[in-house]
A and B are shown apart, each in its own frame.
Chain A
Amino acid sequence: MFRDQLVKVLFGGAAAFSVAVTLLIFGFMIVLGAPLIKDGAFLALFTDSWLPGQGQVGIAPMIVGTLVIAGLALAFSFPVSLGCAALISGLGRGPLPALLNRLVRFMTGIPTVVYGFAGIFLLVPIIREWASRGSGLCVLSAALLLSVLIAPTMILFFVDAFAAVPRSYLVAAKALGATAVQRFVHIMIPGAWRGLTSGVVLASGRAVGDTLIALMIAGNAAVLPESLMDPARTLTAHIALVVAADFDSLEFRTLFACGIVLYLCTTAMVILTRRIGSASEKRQWPAP
């Protein structure tokens, strides 16, 4: 059938185009960042500090800044997210857990820039008062706000993972006299740990990839932060800040090094979540 083939080729073309865009984004960064590799200065990028005036354009402070802010945000967000997911998935009684579930879903629709705006005028002054030094634009403020941003990603994933635990296991445990807490700790968490891991990996991807919170709240100093009250700059914020520079300058070239790091990081996380997912398909729960 000619028309069948035409439609298939057209739709397949759209899919192939989308794949091509994914590859092209990486290709552009490799090509535009290539002069750095030729200069032999590529490895130094990852160890040097950022002193463009003295010819040092290392992105090490930004890598550390990203890791610290994203890591802290995860550390703040994980216990709260797990608690919320537990509440929604059966630990809580009454109508409130369902309302919390709605709130979490709604949170995915809140614009990041609104969080950032509220953060600057509400959270930053609180942190400034509390620390009684600096401007309040610091690692701690950014990590706290980022932890709110990534919470729905984790909670929704956790809730899905808990829902996939076979009901018969829970019913059996209940028949044996297990309380709600015992069922949660001994049946739901072990049964859902792959989903829990995927949720954490995805949330860390969001934390690393977010630009706006760090750009607005973290203070953007391109130096290694020495305490939680110090300002820091993430890779993503670095890209946003330097892009205005001259296109042929060395500073600008380093953006593509940042880009390559972030892209490879994303790819690794995607592959990791896929492996966790496929592993769970192979070792399915035995039929009840």
Chain B
Amino acid sequence: MAGTLTEKSVVLWAWLSGAVLTIAVGGLVGYVVVKGAGSLSLHLVFGDTAPLDAMLLRRQVFDGIFPAMLGTLALVGLSITIAVPIGVAAGIYMAEFATSRIKAVFGLFFDILAGIPSILVGLFGFSVAVFLHHRVSDRIMPCLLISALSLAFLVLPYLIRTTQVALESLPRQVRITAPALGATRLQTLFWVLLPQSLSGIVSGVILSIGRCAEDTAVIMLTGVVATAGVPTSVLANYEALPFFIYTISAQYADQAELMRGYGAAIVLLAICALLFILATLIRHRLADHLLYGVR
């Protein structure tokens, strides 16, 4: 019975699937890394400008990805600053305060928000910018602030979910010990539950940072441009790494520019890989302490 033709072909199909996926991903990522490895140097980042001058903002960088890197940094910093307080607070509410009915209804909305194509969040940001431009002030255009707000909306549902799950998956004895010792509800929350679920929450935040750094669809509608220099104001246009890569792929003037595109792709890939590994390491700590009970 064992080892019939059907059995063998099912096993073969499973192994083939694994091979196909590995080759596809390895091929795509490997191609970028191998082709672009040669472009990795300080010149990629700063171009012909002296690195120190560029970093002190004394001179502009024209043929490097420095402005795009700073733009991405500013964008990620702003959107995470907006999203984390709201997302974590909403997640705590969902896990600790919400009745089961509110949980079901709000949860549905957060699932929808998580599922909305990112381009729609971008379209929303763009519409809000135009609306404010007409109604509030001429100075408001699609800009860094609008992009950061839109990206914050994009990662809100992830933050809410990871916070909620981190709190809800705490072992029961952690939850009942503090009240038994006379702690109030808030004391339990801030001194026991939140510290215990911190690694889960933090890994959610790190994954959100990665999502903000790689997103292209939202920012291309809300104020990113191909050349803007180092970001100077939250109400101005800016450059960003993913959009830089996208523009290069659509229109590159010469081989040098194309190689900068490869270089930027490797840099972005490395940033996202690092964030991913960091989040995994932190979450493993969480898994450990869930496994062994209270630390």
Contacts and interface: CB of A to CB of B under 8 A. Distances in A.
Interface stretch (A78-86, A127-135, A224-232): A78-86
B11 A181 contact: yes
Interface residues of A, number: 89
Nearest to B142: A243
A265 to B, nearest CB: 9
B127 A87 contact: no
A106 B276 contact: yes
Chain A binding site: helix, strand, loop or mixed by DSSP? Answer: helix
Nearest to B274: A109
Interface stretch (B38-46, B50-58, B108-116): B108-116
A246 B14 CA distance: 51
B115 A83 contact: no
A119 B28 contact: yes
Interface residues on B, range: 35 or more
Contacts of A285: none
Contact of A255 (B97, B123, B207, B249): B123
Contact of B112 (A120, A180, A266): A266
Contacts of B123: 29, 239, 243, 255-256, 259
B276 to A, nearest CB: 4
Interface stretch (B15-23, B173-181, B196-204, B227-235): B15-23
B273 interface: yes
A80 B20 contact: yes
B257 interface: no
Please list the 6 inter-chain residue pairs (A to B) with the smallest Cβ-Cβ separation, ordered nearest first: A83-B17, A209-B117, A111-B214, A109-B276, A14-B89, A11-B93
11 contacts: A14-B87, A18-B113, A24-B124, A25-B153, A29-B120, A86-B10, A109-B273, A113-B214, A179-B2, A181-B11, A216-B246
Given A205-B115, A209-B117, 20 more contacts: A12-B93, A14-B89, A24-B124, A25-B116, A79-B13, A83-B15, A92-B15, A103-B21, A109-B276, A110-B29, A113-B245, A114-B29, A121-B35, A185-B10, A236-B217, A239-B123, A240-B221, A243-B126, A247-B130, A255-B123
Interface of B: 1-2, 6-7, 10-11, 13-18, 20-22, 24-25, 27-29, 31-32, 35, 85-87, 89-90, 92-94, 96-98, 106, 108-113, 115-124, 126-128, 130, 153, 156-157, 160, 184-186, 189, 207, 210, 213-214, 216-217, 220-221, 242, 245-246, 248-250, 261-262, 265, 268-269, 272-273, 275-276, 280
Interface of A: 1, 3-4, 7-8, 10-15, 17-19, 21-25, 28-29, 32, 79-84, 86-87, 91-92, 96-97, 100, 103-123, 148, 151, 177, 179-182, 184-185, 205, 208-212, 216, 236, 239-240, 243, 247, 255-256, 259, 262-263, 266-267, 269-271, 273-274
